[in-house]
Amino acid sequence: MKRLLFSLLLVSLALQGFAQDLKEVTLTNQIKEVTLFLSGAQVFETATGSLPAGESVLLVKGLSPFLDEKSIQVKGQGNFIIQAVNKRLDFLHEKEEGEKANALEKEIAEIEKRQSSLRNRIQVLATKMSVLSANKSIGSSQAGTSMTALKATLDFFDAEHTKIANEELQINTQLAANEQEIEALRNQLYALQQSDDKAKAEIRIRVKATGSGPATFQINYLVSNAGWYPKYDVRVKSITDPLQLQYKAEVFQNTGADWKNVKLRFSNANPNQGGQAPIIDKWELNYARYTTVNKFALPQTPGAISGLVLDEQGQPLPGATVLVKGTTIGTTTDMEGRYSLTLPTTAKTLVFYFIGMRTEELPIQGRSNLNVTLLADTQPLYELTVRGSSSQLEKRALGVEPVNSSMDAAPLMTNFVENQTTVEIQVAEPYSIKTNGERTLVDLKTYEIPATYRYSAIPKLDKDAFLLAEMVDWSQYSLLEGESNLYFEDGFVGRSILNPAALQDTLQISMGRDRSIVMQREKVDQFSKKRSIGSNITESRGYEITLKNNKSQAVTLQVKDQIPVSVNSSIEVTTGELSGGVLDPVTGIVTWEITLAPGGQQKLSLRYEVKYPKSERVILD
């Protein structure tokens, strides 16, 4: 057994020695395209170089350390065979980047040293000016001063003051320029520290060529710590104009590698989400005493939430990702670690994550402010070895299939491509996005959409009317759930959630409040009485709703109120005057559809009676 182990060890060492003897060639690589998913991104690179004859190892350097080893695919063009594809971490790059950071810090220190010297000179000049001012008396108190002496003295003071003022101006100008240079260097240092605090990854391609010559490779792989969120600007000039919908993508990337002038695609797919179809299990029904049911009264979801994301030292984390779990609604923190999100009514949990930190999931629980401290993740980036996942790549690794194919170029026009299960948005204009976590907004498409407008009001709950834009055939626009900024009549009116996932033929977008429609709901004492009849008490209620349109055009207004619905046979509810409103007997909701002319006014009445036993009490107000 020991002999067998010894023999295997010798074979392993021999293979390692043989691998080390292979010539290594570093290819020139460049990112050409990036497909951004809701979580993660697929990066497409080209790499070129000159291959020697025989076997060699080609290196593609400077890649993201968050490269998914299972996703690497390599295609080549040239007279050679791809034998294997590996990935490993390049820790030498980390050392080089550390040296760059040290150089930047030294440069900042040198400029700050010069700044101190310049400020000292400013103090000297101020002292010099004080001395001149203290000795500006001309002549003595007993004798007069000749005109020649007076002129010489004035010329001296003028020359010295001018000289000091000019030097102060030059120093202040230099100080301002130095401050700008320091700020630029600090930004560069921050970006370097954020993007290169991990080792870079490299892909090693082992090839066998019949002769020396040029070679071209197309490489694509998945990376984490990047993605996009759909955002919208919804603009309505007036309720007689079509709705303008600006579809945008908020991009974030902390992959550790900058994207320079790359073509962007945006996909509604999520490769990190499981694609396995669910299987329904048997439902075993038993007595209640053998069944555990957890029922918790969840607080109402707030309309928006904001907060701070900090590290263990209490310092802000710029570029941290905040996501509403189970949705495509999210954002990243600003330079002060702050975030702000508009929440859908179904929001329950926020997910916080940042490179090198543990992911946190926190329940919202009705809060409008939620701060979080992320702890460091001690899990290291281990060296990984990976093979391409396609069957063609496996054949090449066995030396069966020579590689002479090339990838098709992406189309240049901007359009929406509907695949079998996903939708991709292609953007023609190339973008440069640094790996610093900053938010980048990319304009995807602007639509002019025919819409009908109506106002919705519930004066019992809110004194303002809300404008609703309704769109039919909205599914053709391939929209995703996301935050929307609302603009009405050239003014910002608030934020809302655009939810195209609703199972409705008509998509409604709330355009916010319109205070040009005035409402008032008052209790009418004449119809609000309490009287006792026999063993019962009868209470009546009457309300008057006044509506006024202060706009210059007619508006259609849907008004809702309610009467109570009895769930007890001893409580009787009788409906009175409703001014033409339609009552839903199941919910008790009363709905009016009203058209108000410009400057028009209308009053609505709501009356009902409730009869219940004297021994009981009901709450009507």
Residue 599 — very low, low, confident or very high, per pLDDT cuts 50/70/90? very high
Contacts of 460 (CB under 8 A, 6+ apart): 521, 561, 562
Task: Specify the higher pLDDT residue, 305 or 414.
Answer: 305
* Longest alpha-carbon distance in the chain: 121
Average pLDDT, the chain: 79
Give burial (CB, 10 Å; 0-12/13-18/19+) of 216. Answer: middle
Give CA angle at 433 (352, 247), nearest 5°: 75
pTM over cut 0.75: no
Residues in the chain: 621
What average pLDDT does this structure show over 531-538?
89
Query: For residue 405, is pLDDT > 70?
Result: no
Query: For residue 285, is pLDDT > 70?
Result: no
Which range (33-42, 92-101, 207-216, 509-518) has the least confidence? 92-101
The DSSP-derived string for 62-111 is EE-TTB-GGG-EEEEESSEEEEEEEEEEEHHHHHHHHHHHHHHHHHHHHH
Which range (13-22, 312-321, 359-368, 590-599) has the least confidence? 13-22
pLDDT single digits (tens) 67-101: 888 889 999 888 889 988 888 876 555 555 566 77
**CA gap 599, 412 in Å, rounded:** 52
Place of tokens 């570093």: 26
pLDDT single digits (tens) 134-163: 766 555 444 555 777 777 777 777 777 788
Parallel, antiparallel, or unpaired: how do β-strands 555-562 and 452-457 relate?
parallel
The answer to whether 188 and 108 are in contact (CB under 8 A) is no
Query: For residue 531, is pLDDT > 80?
Result: yes
Give pLDDT, residue 292: 57
Q: What stretches of 234-291 show up as alpha helix (H) in DSSP?
A: none
What average pLDDT does this structure show over 284-291?
62
Give pLDDT, residue 28: 92
Find residue 537's DSSP bridge partners.
532, 612
Q: If we measure between CA atoms, which residue out of 58, 65, 71 comes closest to residue 90? A: 65
Give pLDDT, residue 199: 67
Give pLDDT, residue 296: 44
Give pLDDT, residue 60: 92
Residue 357 DSSP symbol = B
pLDDT single digits (tens) 368-381: 889 999 988 765 54
Parallel, antiparallel, or unpaired: how do β-strands 423-433 and 259-267 relate?
antiparallel
Chain-centroid distance, C-alpha 41: 15
Phi-psi region of 478 (alpha: psi -120 to 50; beta: other; left: phi over 0): left
Q: What percent of the chain has pLDDT over 90?
A: 25
Q: If we measure between CA atoms, which residue out of 510, 41, 495, 432 comes closest to residue 231? A: 495
Give pLDDT, residue 98: 62
Query: For residue 51, is pLDDT > 70?
Result: yes
Q: If we measure between CA atoms, which residue out of 439, 434, 355 comes closest to residue 191? A: 434
Give pLDDT, residue 408: 36
Task: Specify the higher pLDDT residue, 476 or 318.
Answer: 318
Give pLDDT, residue 496: 82
What average pLDDT does this structure show over 286-308?
63
Query: For residue 595, is pLDDT > 70?
Result: yes
Parallel, antiparallel, or unpaired: how do β-strands 349-353 and 321-324 relate?
antiparallel
Residue 32 — very low, low, confident or very high, per pLDDT cuts 50/70/90? very high
Residue 552 — very low, low, confident or very high, per pLDDT cuts 50/70/90? confident
Give pLDDT, residue 22: 82
Query: For residue 8, is pLDDT > 70?
Result: no
Count CB atoms within 10 A of the CB of residue 460. Answer: 14
Please give the structure tokens belonging to residue 157.
């003071």
What average pLDDT does this structure show over 419-432?
74
Give pLDDT, residue 163: 84
Give pLDDT, residue 507: 84
Give burial (CB, 10 Å; 0-12/13-18/19+) of 207. Answer: buried
Helices 147-195, 91-134: crossing angle, 10 deg rounding: 160
Parallel, antiparallel, or unpaired: how do β-strands 506-514 and 572-575 relate?
unpaired
What average pLDDT does this structure show over 20-41?
88
Which range (189-198, 202-211, 271-280, 583-592) has the least confidence? 189-198
**CA gap 305, 126 in Å, rounded:** 52
The DSSP-derived string for 504-527 is -SEEEEEEEEETTEEEEEEE-GGG
Give pLDDT, residue 144: 54
Which range (9-23, 104-118, 199-213) has the least confidence? 9-23
Task: Specify the higher pLDDT residue, 231 or 395.
Answer: 231
**CA gap 115, 109 in Å, rounded:** 10
